[in-house]
């Protein structure tokens, strides 16, 4: 079993506005950077390898947290929100009405026009998880973490999440030889100076 600590990137301007960012390469906001300053991983993770999504907000977060020998892993990129990118969920519900509600009810199969479903994200992540060979910190995105969480808890995303995640904390999984994640510890607080 390979330990995998997942960390969501820090806050961006679009996070503050509740806009779906998807693949848009947005930097951390000044507030997001300030909240991360002085934070680090608990010592138990000091020998883990560091990986990051290729998007700036994830790379910046990893660097601020003290990533050593950071490597970019393209499969950790955020879910592709397609034509929904840049909109809030509230705006989309207003624009699409019943069609949006029906799409949201699909859970793992919910898919934005020209985008990815959470099930697509899981499929993209399968080879990544199966290839993990050493303890790893991965700085990534909410959509990616939710996809892994869904696998670990056998949650189809059609109802309330079985466990609440604090998005400014770390979430530790162990990955078995088949590439399946198992929840080990959630809401691990970052150390602060």
Could you tell me the CATH number of the domain that includes residue 59? 3.40.50.1240
pLDDT of 183: 95
Domain of residue 99, residue span: 2-192
Q: Which of 126, 141, 171, 182 is catalytic?
A: 141
pLDDT of 18: 94
pLDDT surpassing 80 at residue 53? yes
141 is catalytic: yes
Task: Give the separation between CA 139 and CA 145, rounded to whole angstroms.
Answer: 10
Task: Give the separation between CA 90 and CA 165, rounded to whole angstroms.
Answer: 22
pLDDT tens profile 123-171: 999 999 999 999 999 999 999 999 999 999 999 999 999 999 999 999 9
Q: Residue 192: which pLDDT band, with cuts at 50, 70 and 90?
A: confident
Q: Which of 9, 171, 180, 182 is catalytic?
A: 9
Q: Please compute Rg for the chain using Cα positions.
A: 16
Instruction: Tell which residue, 7, 51, 57, has the closest CA to residue 27.
Output: 57
- Please tell me the total count of domains within the chain: 1
pLDDT tens profile 94-125: 999 999 999 999 999 999 999 999 999 999 99
Bridge partners for 88 per DSSP: 19
180 is catalytic: no
pLDDT tens profile 20-40: 999 999 999 999 999 999 899
Q: What is the pTM of this model?
A: 0.93
Q: From the centroid of its chain, how far is CA 185? A: 16
């Amino acid at each position: 079993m390979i330990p995998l600590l997942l960390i969501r990137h820090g806050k961006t301007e679009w996070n503050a506005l509740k806009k779906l960012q998807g693949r848009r390469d947005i930097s951390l906001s000044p507030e997001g950077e300030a909240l991360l300053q002085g934070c680090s991983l608990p010592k138990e993770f000091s020998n883990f390898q560091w990986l990051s999504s290729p998007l700036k907000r994830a790379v910046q977060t990893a660097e601020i947290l003290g990533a050593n020998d950071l490597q970019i892993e393209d499969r950790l990129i955020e879910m592709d929100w397609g034509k929904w990118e840049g909109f809030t969920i509230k705006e989309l519900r207003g624009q699409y009405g019943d069609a949006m509600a029906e799409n949201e009810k699909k859970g793992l199969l919910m898919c934005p026009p020209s985008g990815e479903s959470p099930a697509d994200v899981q499929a993209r992540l399968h080879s990544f998880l199966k290839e993990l060979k050493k303890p790893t910190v991965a700085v990534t995105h909410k959509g990616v973490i939710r996809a892994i969480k869904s696998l670990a808890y056998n949650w189809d995303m059609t109802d309330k999440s079985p466990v609440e995640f604090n998005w400014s904390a770390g979430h530790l999984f162990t990955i078995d030889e088949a590439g399946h994640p198992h929840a080990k510890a959630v809401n691990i607080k970052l150390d602060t100076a």
